[in-house]
Structure 1
Amino acid sequence: MQLTIRVRPRLAALAVLLLVAFIAVTARTALAATPLTVAQAIATQNGTSQTVTGYVVGEPVATTTVNRSNFTGDLAIALADSASETGTTKMLYVQLTTEWRAAGGLKTNPSRLATKITVTGTLTAYFSHAGQKSPTAITSGTPDPDPTTTTPPPTSTTTSPTDAYYANALGKSGAALRSSLHSIIKTQTVLTYDQVWDALKDTDQDPNNANNVIEIYSGRSIAKSDNGGGVDQWNREHVWAKSHGDFGTANGPGTDVHHLRPEDVTVNSDRGNLDFDNGGAAVNQCSDCWRDGDSFEPRDAVKGDVARMILYMAIRYEGDDGWPNLEPNNSVANGTAPYIGKLTVLKAWSAGDPPDAFEKRRNQVIYDTWQHNRNPFVDHPEWISSIWP
């Protein structure tokens, strides 16, 4: 005998609907649990709504142009899988619609640079570039369990590795930012002038030859052991000339390795105590450095480094701890006064030559091993225009 079971049509339809709903919820939960990387989002420009996690690396202003400082607006941010990424082909351009601009844009919130965020939105071209438009959620850390839920934009984030160090400065600008940074970075271990030799052999080590250091102006790789005062040796260059404020080699500004660098003895002598500006004649043994009677121009690859070292000194040494009050100005004839120029040129150099891997490593080594303070303008070059508009 054959047994026949009949299922009512309405019950069958209900079962199908429940199954579809279960699959949809499961798929949505899986999506929320595993946001895309930026690389995956770039490869998935299909108009679907997806959740992406990455680091804020700049402000897109054109198809192949992203500002990493001197931000001009709050209309968009660029995300990458690495906080130090500079290649635009590895970035996702994220549109910031009106409700997200005040809290998410870099012009208003420059401290968001290098922070890690999660965005839910439509993966589609923006600025004729791989992008994400019409965001419905922007959060720090892990994404919202339901990516269709609109989460209010955060007022601040603290996901950058250095945010804890700069906690009292984040969100500030102008004089308030300057005061906070001074209070933060003046807490340091003060080295002796003899200790500077060992520090520079560590901070300026050639990444391709652990036995050498890189000279800042000439760019030459030279044996760590070949240091001293002889011709073709390297010695300790005070980027903020030690006569500008007359602090010499005194423990403190005279031994602060945030502005002391290895340099060829002859080139160091040619630079002397000149201020910084563009132009002049080529320097002996440094054909891509220039000098005239009152100024020195370093090679292009370290112009930003020089600027950020000078501006560090101005924030670190404010005259409240027995050392001179150092300050950049727009003169190139400062003599022994505690000033150095030209500020407008230094700002342009910093904008044109953002921190590279060598400079960032140097800042970290000084913090970890030697002075235990940081150069804030290596970590946040955008703060320069806030303090010196």
Structure 2
Amino acid sequence: MPTTAPLTSRSQTRVTTLVALLLVALLSALALTAVTARTATAATPLTVSQAIATQNGTSQTVRGYIVGEPVATSTVNRSNFSADYAIALADSASTTDTTKMVYVQLTTQWRNAWGLRTNPSLLGKRVDVTGQLTAYFSHAGLKSPTAIASVGATPTPTPTGTSTPTPTPTSSNPTDTYYAGALGKSGSALRSALHGIISDQSVLTYDQVWTALKDTDQDPNNAANVIEIYSGRSIAKSNNGGGVDQWNREHVWPQSHGSFGTTPGPGTDVHHLRPEDVTVNSERGNLDFDNGGSAVNQCSDCWRDGDSFEPRDSVKGDVARMILYMAIRYEGGDGFANLEPNNVTGNGSTPYVGRLTTLKAWSAGDPPDAFEKRRNDRIHSQWQGNRNPFIDHPEWVTSIWP
């Protein structure tokens, strides 16, 4: 059997040289791949104008200045920020025209770092945001971001392989756990999901409403008093009843609009029952909501005409969100009428309340304040076990009613 001849010194040199050349080629290829990868990820971000024109559902990076907090399709707060749910970007820090903005959804993991309510100093900052180019608030949008960074900083990607921590419940940022079945939905799917969530509640008697209102509507400056919704007057909790200058239980959604009266359920749902002066309550009656009219007796900054009532400015958003809550909560499948907002006034005893366009404007113009958020929390934790979703997520108003 033949034996292999040992390698000569020259052969050994050739083998060594060949191995070295192969190693150099491999390292060069790897370096080229790394350079190519860096080049691919360093693509020029889209401008906001380009993002507005490219709402095709693709994932892109958009560069722009933070110019405010979107709260409706054509409304962006530039001060007095109400929540950390969204930011608006524009190609110029001075832009006020909402048609030249792209609205960025801030999902849970981004809110503490990039929400304007928590970080108002971010207004005017230039940022890169990577996300899905698709409508948000029925407006050109960038949803489900995977990276956000100040221009010049390294983007922080969305964590992978780990679950997002659930934020601690607070009155300004309730847990997403409660709305887990609704997050990411819009339109009719969102409406259906919210109905299922908020229908899980404890039902009060009409007598229990007295006690609940003394808690939910307590004057923050005087624990012995409640605040009347329309008049704004602080009045002793004990001064309740049906007499002149006392306070009674106002159904913001009139009990005659759907003929539910004081029946446990819609007739006792504290999310739309509020303390109000007996005289002012009578003046409001079962009128729909809209702007205009003559000043109301004992409430000079409330107005009414033959078919509508206008509350004082500081509670217009509260009123709108209560009406919209009732429309989602009572869909007609639990023995009660299907309550709906519509765009007319003078609805009489039909299960409708208008005017929807006015209510949407009120909700956008008067975002939830500390009193309304505390009230929502108390109803959830102490009385009914459910929440008004439009206080927690005002942006859902225009998702359901574009």
* TM-score (norm. length: structure 2): 0.68
For residue 209 of structure 2, what is the aligned residue in structure 1?
196
Aligned to 2:88: 59
Question: 1:118 offset after TM fit, Å?
Answer: 11
After superposing the two structures, state which structure 1 stretch, 264-273 or 73-82, moved more.
73-82
1:138 to 131, 151, 156: 156
Give 1:242's aligned amino acid: Q
Say which SS state the counterpart of residue 248 (structure 1) adopts: coil
Q: CA deviation at 1:87?
A: 8.4
Tell me if the contact between 2:134 and 2:140 (Cα under 8 Å) persists in the aligned partners: yes
- Tell me if structure 2 keeps the 8 A contact 1:204–1:213: yes
Distance 1:309 1:292 in 2: 22
TM-aligned CA deviation for residue 333 of structure 1 = 1.3
How far apart are residue 269 of structure 1 and its match?
0.3
Q: Name the structure 2 match of 1:99.
A: 130
Residue 191 of structure 1 contacts residue 255 of structure 1 at CA under 8 Å; is this kept in 2?
A: yes
**Partner Cα distance (1:346, 1:225) in 2:** 32
Aligned residue number for residue 238 of structure 1? 251
Identify the residue that residue 350 of structure 2 maps to in structure 1.
337
Give the alignment partner of residue 85 of structure 1, picking from 108, 117, 126.
117
How do 1:181-220 and structure 2 match up within 5 A? 181-220=194-233
Which of these residues, 390, 393, 396, is aligned with residue 377 of structure 1? 390
Match of 2:295 among 262, 270, 282: 282
Q: How does 1:281-360 map to 2 (within 5 A)?
A: 281-360=294-373
Contact 2:258 2:351 in 1 (8 A): yes
Q: Distance in 2 between matches of 1:177 and 1:119?
A: 26
Give the conservation status (yes or no) of the 8 Å contact 1:329–1:343: yes
Q: Is the 8 A contact 1:217 1:289 kept in 2?
A: yes
Q: Are 1:73 and 2:102 matched, yes or no? A: yes
Shift in Å, 1:73: 1.9
Task: Write the letter of the residue equivalent to 2:373.
Answer: K
The answer on whether the counterparts of 2:89 and 2:101 sit within 8 Å (CA) in structure 1 is no
Q: Residue 175 of structure 1: which of 182, 185, 188 is its match? A: 188
> What are the Cα deviations for residues 65-93 of structure 1, in whole angstroms up to 9, with x where unaligned?
999x99962469797679783884x4455
**1:188 CA drift (Å):** 0.2
Name structure 1 gaps, 5 residues minimum.
Answer: 1-53, 122-131, 145-150
Give the drift of 1:195. Answer: 0.3
Q: Would you say the 8 A contact 2:341–2:354 is kept in 1?
A: yes
Q: CA deviation at 1:175?
A: 0.4
* Deviation of the 1:137 alpha carbon: 2.4
- Paired residue for 2:179? 166
RMSD: 3.7
| Matched residue SS, 1:288 | strand
- Give the secondary-structure state (helix, strand or coil) at the position aligned to 1:253: coil
Q: Is the 8 A contact 1:215 1:263 kept in 2?
A: yes
3-state SS in 2 of match to 1:373: coil
Deviations 1:42-86 (CA, angstroms, capped at 9, x unpaired): xxxxxxxxxxxx95564356858999x999624697976797838
Q: Could you tell me the percent identity over the aligned residues? A: 64
- Say if 1:74 and 1:96, in contact at 8 Å, map to a contact too: no
- CA distance, structure 1, for counterparts of residue 317 and residue 235 of structure 2: 22
Paired residue type of 2:130: E
